[in-house]
């Protein structure tokens, strides 16, 4: 990969030791270039506009302008992939961050391999969910309070089984293959992993996901997970 093809990353965190550690760690990833570090959300908004990064590693809890507000502001003006960072897997800002447009999230104890996987995945247009924090998201989207924040179509009724109903009918005109893909999204699989599981090409997986989103009225994977649970196409584990 040439320097021109490198994934340009902006790091945002209000703790200098964390910024410096991430800069060093991310800097060692092949094909990734750290183009800057911001100390808060306001600086992140300015630097994102100036540097035009491909991916932003965004802390959530920062004074003045936090990571959710910064993500929302940046996503409103430019195309960039945001991976949020949080200290705890149960951080209450995770779901709002995804709603603001974040493409993935990591906990701050993530390994170099996990950070690289997240950066590469979101750059490909996929969502990357930290396994530990995924349980927090599952609990949130499966709760009645979270259901109220979803579009009307996304609030699929609980039809009582993995086939969508006792008669086997699937909700919102989903095909059996689309229901399979949706269930795997709810299990936290990436596009590549879904393709491997179902023996489908990446373009075919994306086509299925686009059709699922259009039929069900969900905007992103977070809402798709909630839809899958309420429609009985998948069930939380653990």
Per domain, the residue ranges of the chain are 3-135, 149-230
Closest-CA residue to 138 (of 232, 223, 197): 223
**Is residue 224's pLDDT more than 80?**
yes
Task: Mention every residue, 6+ apart, whose C-beta is less than 8 A from residue 191.
Answer: 124, 125, 126, 202, 205, 206, 209
pLDDT band for position 234 (cuts 50, 70, 90): confident
Q: Going by CATH, does the domain composed of 149-230 fall within 1.10.3720.10?
A: no
**Is residue 16's pLDDT more than 90?**
yes
Top pLDDT among 80 and 186 is at 80
- Say if CB 105 and CB 130 are below 8 A apart: yes
CATH class of 3-135: alpha beta
According to the model, what pLDDT value does residue 59 have? 92
pLDDT band for position 99 (cuts 50, 70, 90): confident
Q: 160-166: list long-range contacts, CB under 8 Å, 24+ apart.
A: 160/232, 161/232, 162/232, 162/233, 162/234, 162/235, 163/232, 164/231, 164/232, 164/233, 165/232
According to the model, what pLDDT value does residue 141 have? 57
In percent, the amount of the chain with pLDDT more than 70 equals 78
> Which stretch of 20-24, 140-144, 194-198, 200-204 has the lowest confidence by average pLDDT?
140-144
């Amino acid at each position: 990969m040439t320097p021109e093809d490198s994934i340009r990353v902006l790091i945002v965190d209000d703790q200098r030791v964390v910024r410096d550690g991430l800069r060093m760690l991310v800097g060692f990833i092949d094909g990734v270039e750290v183009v800057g570090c911001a100390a808060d959300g306001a600086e992140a908004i300015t630097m994102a506009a100036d540097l035009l990064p491909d991916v932003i590693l965004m802390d959530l809890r920062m004074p003045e302008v936090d990571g959710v507000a910064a993500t929302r502001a940046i996503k409103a003006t430019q195309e960039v992939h945001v991976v949020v960072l949080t200290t705890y897997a149960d951080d209450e800002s995770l779901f709002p961050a995804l709603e603001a447009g974040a493409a993935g999230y990591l906990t701050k104890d993530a390994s170099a391999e996990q950070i690289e996987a997240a950066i590469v995945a979101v750059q490909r247009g996929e969502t990357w969910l930290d396994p530990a924090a995924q349980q927090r998201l599952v609990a949130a989207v499966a709760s009645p309070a979270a259901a109220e924040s979803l579009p009307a179509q996304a609030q699929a009724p609980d039809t009582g089984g993995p086939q969508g109903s006792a008669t086997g009918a699937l909700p919102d005109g989903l095909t059996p293959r689309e229901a399979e893909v949706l269930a795997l999204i709810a299990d936290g699989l990436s596009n590549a992993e879904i393709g491997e599981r179902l023996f489908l090409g990446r373009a075919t997986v994306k086509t299925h996901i686009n059709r699922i989103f259009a039929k069900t009225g969900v905007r992103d994977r977070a809402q798709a997970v909630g839809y899958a649970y309420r429609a009985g196409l998948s069930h939380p584990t653990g």
